[in-house]
Structure 1
Amino acid sequence: MTYQNNFSLGINNAMQQFLLFFNPIPFGLLLLGIGLYFRGKLTYWIQIIVSLVQSIWLFANTLYYREFSDFLSFGIIKSSSSVSNNLGTSILEIIHPTDFLVFLDVLILILMMSFKVIQPDMSTTKRRYGAISSVVAVVLFSINLSLAESDRSQLLSRTFDNNYIVKYLGVDFFAGYSAYQTHQQTATRKNASKSDVDKVLDFVNKNRSQPNVSYYGKEKGKNVFILHLESFQQFMINYKSDGEEVTPNINRFYKDQHTMSFDNFFHQVGQGKTSDAETMLETSMFGLPSGSSMTSYGSSNTYQALPAILDQQGYSTASMHGDVGSFWNRDNTYKSWGYQYFFDSSYYDDKDDYSIGYGLKDKIFLQQSAKYIEQLPQPFYAKLITVTNHYPYDLDKQNQSIDKTKTGDKTVDGYVQTSRYLDQAFGEFIDYLKKSGLYDKSVIVAYGDHYGISDNHPKALAKLLGKDSLSSYDLAMLQKVPFMIHSSNLSGGINHTYGGEIDVMPTLMDLLGIKNDDTIQLGNDLLSTDRNQTVAFRNGDFVSPDLSKIGSKVYDNQGNKVNTKKLTQQQKDILKEQQDHTDKSLSLSDKITTGDLLRFYTPQNFDKVDKSQYKYKYSDGMKALKEAQRKKKTSLIEQNGGKSTEDLYKTDAPELKDDDE
């Protein structure tokens, strides 16, 4: 019942429907059969406890899937300390009363045992019953796996969406499978060797695109801002609700004569969501098939990330985020990436009404960030991570400036309100950059990190977009997020090349004129004229200007489903090449991460990062910042004769007005 009602597993035929019914039985029998190895009351209580654990697992997966369209893996559970922060609001929003029905059988059994409605069999233990149940369970699972492989070959040998594993083999098997994967992480790193890097370099060098001579080095020496627009999807650009423009400031920036905007730019995140987006942006490597590479490997792995590269090119590097530094293990990963400064929530003033959900509200966060931006020696690389436009898209009444939409879906209808708030904060920040003089001295990159509204809301999304329904291809196209590069040196316009977050790092390096012909990066320059436009998704699907594969279906670039049996030989070759490129990219990325392969290879003109030199405590960070200002004397505040530019930052945040009063 949970499979059918709470998960979108894509049942396409009678075999899949049968397996959905069948796959809980082998593991249920195996686990419940543990009790048969004991005697008396202990047998019964062991089985009740097993049933309770399974109910908790199913309940937890129901809630997680409702929010993230994925299943709980041991990689996620392992990193729970860094992602559980501030989840209370989200959980309360997504729980349905019927979710608790999974505990009904456990409650009834406990009552029946407590009131002795069930009388335990106190006879001598017949262990053969336990052994028989275990053997039958293994046989049934073998049948399950065989049937699954007949319907979906290479189910476990290729990187598939977790939905496939649960659909064919069950949520209990997935628990064991993800635990095995977590164990393998340790073993894989131990077994990796320097020779593994050769295969990676061979692929990377064959797929490395040449920089566009019209853009290479065009922004050399400029500051770089990365504005991380939380959960902001491309369809919100120029979107109107009841005839009212939702994001006028971002729309103007998108269409500015000096902004290059990409309208076929896709997020490529997996379970790591925002952490995956950051990983791709800073390292040109994919996130993991399950869990977050930042939480699993960020503390220990070797990286050649953009902050470290820019640091060694004379840049100051900083990330700013109005939440605790441990979230997504940023306080450790950023050291591995070579960030000189990390201004987390400990650097910001906070009051009861300053924060919402995952940290400081955007207007307050960006306004307070100005005092750190003006102290960074120029040129600098500064990433600012907004959070207010985050699920469950709740916003206090005093900050609401547009009505909710009326699709009837709570998740969807608040999205325009938080998007408008993000847009207002974005507009205020851009105004500050103009007034302070940083606007013309900087490359300003703005991008959406991942979807805001998941595929689990197709009816509401269709209504929001004025459509009757959405196909799998439509939903894939909704994975587009904005990507914009602004500089006074650039001629703006809409670029239609297909790309994704994996391509940001090489694009910026070429724009800044940083040599990039021996690095290990899986993306390629979005401005190159000879680039591969296959966009790989973390689940093994892909989109391109030619053909796209979503699940088991193939579409042309008009969104029409293609009969693969009627493809021309040329189309078959293109499709195979695209799938091979996708599979190879994902596979090599996983090998680089899980084997920590970059420890065996260092590009020319790059020094390995020494994590011990970075300290992010407030006292340490401010001391280092003051020392850097004294040495370089290129910060905005130094150039302004020691006078702060904070008073140039104007915000209409009602919380700050209340404070002034």
Structure 2
Amino acid sequence: MIKLEQQPNIQNSTKQSLSFFLLAVILLWVKSYIAFRVGLNLDLENVMQEIILVITPLSSALFFLGLGLFAPAKSRNKALLTIHFIMSFILYANIVYHRFFDDFITIPVLFQFKNFGDLGGSAQSLMHPLDILYFLDFLLLLTIVLSKKVKPVEKLKKKTIGLVFVSALSIFLANIGMAEIQRPELLTRTFDRAILVKLMGVYNYHVYDAVLNTKSSTQRALADSNDLAEVKNYSDSQYKKPDPKMFGAAKGKNVILVSMESTQNFLINKKINGQEVTPFLNDLTKNSYYFDNFYHNTGQGKTSDAEFLIDNSLYGLPGGSVYSTKAQNKFHATPEIVKENGYNPVVFHANNKSFWNRDMMYNTLGYNKFYSKPYYDVNDQNSVNYGLKDKEFFKQSMPMLENLKQPFYSKFITLTNHHPFILNNEQEKSIQPADTGDPTVDNYFVTARYQDEALKQFFQQLKASGLYDNSVIILYGDHYGISENHNKAMSKILGKEVTPYEHLKLQETPLFIHVPGQKGKVMHTIGGEIDLKPTILHLLGMKTKGDIQFGSDLFSPERDEFTVQRDGSAITKDYVYAGEKEKCYSQSDGQEVAAKLCKPAKDKAAKDLNLSDKVVYGDLLRFFKDGKIINQQESKQ
């Protein structure tokens, strides 16, 4: 009788427990799908991709929340709540990250978490009051648990739990099968995280990213000097001789590199409300070598990637930043090379020295000194967002620059023209915002003008100090400022639709090279940040033949008209290959053409990126000394 009386209670409790679990699954499933469509605004191309997007969060919700069913009865609902919150937070973190970077978080990016606390207004501007809705379902579940209306049974049947995981696995396999139809070899072609998220979902993407990260972390331990042979042979085959007229044109001169934060090339000669946005840079095109087909090659590391590219002629990683995750590696960087030739390499950056792990990485690359925030007087009036405003930055840097032992190799990293593009002093705004209705795009021109005025001031200070005539001055845009998320507003600015072709053209960043005694000219050479290391060294009269590099001298008459984007896209003189879309466009009119026309560029881009990643992940340059490959034992000496 006792058993008969208790049986309905057990059955009822089991139903309650599973009802709560299923409610958590359904709420997370529906929320994730809505977030994929609205928060991440994934670009779906057909009905099958829509179906994939519907089912992929269901398999993840069943699997991960299913893990909570193994918890003891008393803590089972708490376990389900904890897992639900973690998955909600992962989803939300990707949405916030995607709002600016048009990208998704990777495990290496998580190692850069300390950067987030230093972003100030830049990070806060990415968060919206309505974002609380992404946690509304969690609050509902929390209310149910706190009301104690759900009482889980002591032990769930193994068959019941097994059914949950079989369902999750079945849905996942169906997901992968459809994804492979949409993009064959999806899991071996990982240049584009947007494709992975679109066809696997955020949660499965993060599991896959974790597997990749684990795999990459073992590459160094397993690597040996033989792995460098293929890279060395390829690098040697790609070497281009310098222009005899430019080789050594700046021998013995100082080098002043200026990183122009978030500066895209469309700003040059652009007018807003009838006013030039960059009048100083516009004038600079007339008395310097100005490259108008120059591209950034950065990935998630953004400014730090640009620095890494320029100093090493190696690409940044497909996820995260070399600066944050590979600072212990051995490199053969420009600062180290010029130091061996009597130069004094230094960096000026009025921000925290640990941001992007710069203090450690600069030491690895061979810089003698890093003038970071403690060397500057930074207060509320002269700083905004990341730190010191550009005009004050250059002003305070000049005495330190003038006192350097010459010749020096110096790098200046500007800050003000950074998202969310704000100035906290109305008197510093010398141009009105644009009028697209998108604050990010509209204000971009205001801070770009401020940066332009700061650069003009810096050049005047260099001339007054006497350093101008004895220095090679190189200005480069480090990466894009306006992401693909703002294409609607950018269409108004450009007066035409931002197609995939136009989007790639917007990855152009300006490059100016002022060589003492030379007037310069507009250079239409297609190139990127990957090419600056050999270009600079050749200007200084230093040979690079035999070095391991993936760029070539921008002045070389032999160089190919070619550059690469971190997602596998490639730009040549005749064609543009859009990696994400896997489409080919003609440079002459921007129209789509047969994919086979872009295959040579696509293949070269993939090889360059793969071999460069091999060098960085395997720390292969520890096996490289004096232009030769050395063995494991020699590398330890």
Matches within 5 A, 1:377-416: 377-396=405-424, 397-416=426-445
Deviation at 1:18, TM superposition (A): 1.2
SS, match of residue 271 in structure 1: coil
Q: Which amino acid aligns with 2:610?
A: S
Deviation at 1:41, TM superposition (A): 4.4
TM-score normalised according to structure 1 size: 0.88
2:623 matches 1:600: yes
Q: Partner residue of 1:97?
A: 129
| Compared CA separation, residues 547 and 51, structure 1 to 2 (3 A) | same
Matches within 5 A, 1:303-322: 303-322=331-350
User: Comparing 487-496 with 208-217, which one deviates more in the overlay?
Assistant: 487-496
Determine if contact 1:264/1:498 at 8 Å carries over to the other structure: yes
2:540 matches 1:509: no
2:1 matches 1:3: no
SS, match of residue 444 in structure 1: strand
Out of 537, 550, 554, the residue aligned to residue 526 of structure 1 is 554
Matches within 5 A, 1:219-234: 219-234=250-265
Aligned-pair identity (%)? 39
2:235 matches 1:235: no
Q: Which amino acid aligns with 1:297?
A: K
Deviation at 1:36, TM superposition (A): 2.2
What is the distance in 2 between the residues matched to 1:174 and 1:135?
20
Q: Which amino acid aligns with 2:80?
A: Q
Q: Which amino acid aligns with 1:509?
A: L
Deviation at 1:533, TM superposition (A): 2.0
User: Comparing 320-329 with 38-47, which one deviates more in the overlay?
Assistant: 38-47
Q: Partner residue of 1:354?
A: 382
Out of 605, 618, 626, the residue aligned to residue 582 of structure 1 is 605
What is the distance in 2 between the residues matched to 1:385 and 1:154?
40
Out of 98, 109, 119, the residue aligned to residue 150 of structure 2 is 119
Deviation at 1:604, TM superposition (A): 4.1
Residues 279-304 of structure 1, C-alpha deviations (whole Å, 9 max, x = no match): 10110111110000110001x10010
Matches within 5 A, 1:192-231: 192-231=223-262
Determine if contact 1:309/1:606 at 8 Å carries over to the other structure: no
2:300 matches 1:277: no
Determine if contact 2:383/2:389 at 8 Å carries over to the other structure: yes
Q: Partner residue of 1:553?
A: 583
Q: Partner residue of 1:265?
A: 294
What is the distance in 2 between the residues matched to 1:141 and 1:561?
38
Determine if contact 1:223/1:379 at 8 Å carries over to the other structure: yes
SS, match of residue 474 in structure 2: strand
Q: Which runs of 5+ in 1 are unaligned?
A: 566-571, 608-661
User: Comparing 500-509 with 343-352, which one deviates more in the overlay?
Assistant: 343-352
User: Comparing 122-131 with 425-434, which one deviates more in the overlay?
Assistant: 122-131
SS, match of residue 517 in structure 1: coil
2:394 matches 1:366: yes
TM-score normalised according to structure 2 size: 0.91
What is the distance in 1 between the residues matched to 2:41 and 2:616?
30
Out of 159, 173, 181, the residue aligned to residue 190 of structure 2 is 159
What is the distance in 2 between the residues matched to 1:463 and 1:562?
22
Q: Partner residue of 1:537?
A: 565
Determine if contact 1:35/1:42 at 8 Å carries over to the other structure: no
2:210 matches 1:182: no
Out of 592, 616, 621, the residue aligned to residue 562 of structure 1 is 592
User: Comparing 441-450 with 30-39, which one deviates more in the overlay?
Assistant: 30-39
Matches within 5 A, 1:445-524: 445-467=474-496, 469-524=497-552
2:356 matches 1:328: yes
Residues 544-590 of structure 1, C-alpha deviations (whole Å, 9 max, x = no match): 1111111221100034333427xxxxxx3x52221111001100111
User: Comparing 173-182 with 311-320, which one deviates more in the overlay?
Assistant: 173-182
What is the distance in 2 between the residues matched to 1:434 and 1:379?
17
SS, match of residue 261 in structure 1: strand
Out of 35, 49, 58, the residue aligned to residue 25 of structure 1 is 58
SS, match of residue 414 in structure 1: helix
Q: Partner residue of 2:8?
A: none
Determine if contact 2:249/2:515 at 8 Å carries over to the other structure: no
Q: Partner residue of 2:319?
A: 290
Q: Which runs of 5+ in 2 are unaligned?
A: 1-33, 631-637
What is the distance in 2 between the residues matched to 1:125 and 1:201?
59
2:91 matches 1:58: yes
Determine if contact 1:312/1:606 at 8 Å carries over to the other structure: no
What is the distance in 1 between the residues matched to 2:444 and 2:282?
17
Q: Which amino acid aligns with 1:203?
A: Y
Q: Partner residue of 1:611?
A: none
Determine if contact 2:574/2:588 at 8 Å carries over to the other structure: no
Q: Give the root-mean-square deviation of aligned CA atoms.
A: 1.6
